[in-house]
Amino acid sequence: MSGQKHIQHHHRRVAFSYPTSISQRLYSAVLGPLVFVLATYLILKFLPSLSPVSAIRNAPFAYLTAGFLASFFRLLLAYSLAVVIAIPLAVVISRRPSVERVFLPVFDITQSIPVLAFFPVIIAIFLRFGYFNGAAVFILFLSMLWNIVFSVVGGLKVIPTEIISAAKVFRVRGFSFLRKVLLPAVFPYVVTGSLLAWAQGWNVTIVAEVLHTYIPGGSRANDLFGIGSILVNSIAAGRQDLFLASILVLVIGIAFLNFFIWQKLLHYTEKYRFE
């Protein structure tokens, strides 16, 4: 009976409702973006009086913000694909020792290869379909995938055997076992892996959007619009004002996402960790 109470208590804690109240939803959906826009505007407005780069006023705020959002949604799509594939892949690997012994070393070697080494081949494949966005998203997906896979595999290994045994006793199987036991147990590791994946994604997007460097005879017209291509092309064109403004928008945007999303999620993961 005590075991039943224990597993029921564990199940009551798995429901993830973030944000948890109307005020938090309003705070996240309305106040957060307003603070981001206001802070970016103030920095771009007053920085010239604090910096010798007086030409920074020529960097259009809307242009840079749109570039950041374009890169963000490209990363969001790649991240969504990475999560959808990484979790089932990690579960399959961890539940079969023979599969784990074969595939984990392969994945480890694949992760060690610089992801941009595959980019010319990926560009050549997607070039046939004229889908350059797909090439960038795919390379971002590859850069994010392994951080989540290895984090989830590590999380699955620390699930107490008592929890697995209790689930078997109460016949929690199949999709119910995945939803009530496995996913809550690995949630902290998904968040940790996701944080690392996004950091890797931001690094890769700076060069993943500059497609003309990978296309024979390509020009800047082949590049994807985003904060990464703005950064690279502005410094190549000698536009230090635009380059510095792009750096500011990128740093502010990443700090905003970290404070309002990842720090909140990391705090909530404490509810799902096994003591």
d(CA 163, CA 181): 8
Residue 102 token pair:
């074969």
127 by Cβ neighbours in 10 Å (0-12 / 13-18 / 19+) ranks as: middle
Cα separation, 140 vs 127, in Å, equals: 17
For the chain, domains (ranges, CATH) are 2-272 (1.10.3720.10)
Q: What gap in Å lies between CA 11 and CA 14, rounded to an integer?
A: 5
Dmax (CA) of the chain: 72
pLDDT of residue 197: 95
Q: Is the pTM of this model over 0.95?
A: no
Task: Please give the distance of CA 100 from its chain centroid, rounded to a whole number.
Answer: 25
Peptide bond into 60 cis (omega under 30): no
Q: What averages of pLDDT result for each successive group of 10 residues across the chain (275 residues)?
A: 43 42 52 58 46 44 87 92 91 79 79 82 83 90 92 85 74 71 84 93 92 79 89 88 89 91 87 69
